[in-house]
Amino acid sequence: MCVPGDRPGRTTGGEALGSERRREREKEQRRSAILRAARKEFFEKGFRSVTVDTIARRAELSKGAIYLYFKSKEEIYAQILLRDIDKFHDRVETLLDTSKSASDNLRQYADVYAAFFLSDRELFRIFMNFMLQHNPVNFTPNINDHIVKSTNQTVIIIEQILQMGVNRGEFPPDLNIRVCRNALWGLLNGIIALHIFSGREETREERVRTQLREGLEVFIKGLRAV
């Protein structure tokens, strides 16, 4: 990296000392600090009403510095979502337990699903938006695909559980899995959405869980009786 007017023999070569590792590390830490700060902001106020300035202030940086690490406000948001979605994906992926009944698996699924979204309401909004095919933030195609794929995966798990129930004779053999899957998924999201979008902020988790369980039991009973 030399400028034309350099004095000869005074160029800055590639770093030989151990400081490059340190700088790499510190850069990564700054990046994380921004994401941490932004996450808090986004999940407190939602995408629109958060300003880059407040993120910067929370991360104890200037606005300009934010743009050294991310190329837009959208990108920050996307990065946070990707991280959270992957976390959720991991949780859900290891959920299927073949040693238990299909019904118990459905109950377990509902628990994990509710716990995750009740701890991150904003994340639930985004998921909903993606599922319903109208996203408010314009992500790059790559990111879009990733989110869509991950969200779809959660639905597929329900399908797998239902299939397991059919194979074992727990549910009737002529069960329309596709329809039931959508119905159950709608049930879960409906109850959660009801509370999250109700306007009142102080939704108690326990109450949502109880409702979910009750709804689920009705659903399972229905499944068996088809």
Partner DNA sequence: GAATGATGGTCATTAACTGACCGATGGTCA
Partner DNA sequence: TGACCATCGGTCAGTTAATGACCATCATTC
Question: Which chain residues interact with DNA by CB under 7 A?
Answer: 1-3, 5-7, 9-17, 19-20, 22-23, 26-27, 30, 49-53, 60-65, 67-68, 71-74
In one-letter notation, the amino acid at residue 61 is L
Candidates 11-19, 80-88, 95-103, 196-204: pick the segment binding its own copies (CB under 8 A): 11-19
Given 4, 19, 200, 225, the residue binding its own copies (CB under 8 A): 19
Identify the DSSP state of 153. Answer: H
**Residue 21 site contact among its own copies, DNA, none (CB < 5 to 8 Å, cut-off depends on kind):** its own copies
Given 40, 52, 61, 170, the residue binding its own copies (CB under 8 A): 61
| Closest distance of CB 62 from its own copies, Å | 6
In one-letter notation, the amino acid at residue 138 is N
| Angstrom distances, CA of residue 86 to CA of 83, 89, 104, 211 | 5, 5, 24, 27
Site string for its own copies, 38-57 (x = CB under 8 A): ------------------xx
- Are 37 and 58 contacting, i.e. CB atoms less than 8 angstroms apart? yes
Characterize 21-50 residue by residue with b for buried, 16 or more Cβ atoms within 10 angstroms of its Cβ, and e for exposed: eeeeeeeeebeeebbebbbebbbeeebeeb
- The H-assigned helical ranges of 120-204 are 121-131, 141-167, 177-196
- 56 vs 102 by CB, closer to DNA: 56
| Closest distance of CB 82 from DNA, Å | 17
Binding site for its own copies (CB under 8 A): 17-19, 21-22, 56-57, 60-62
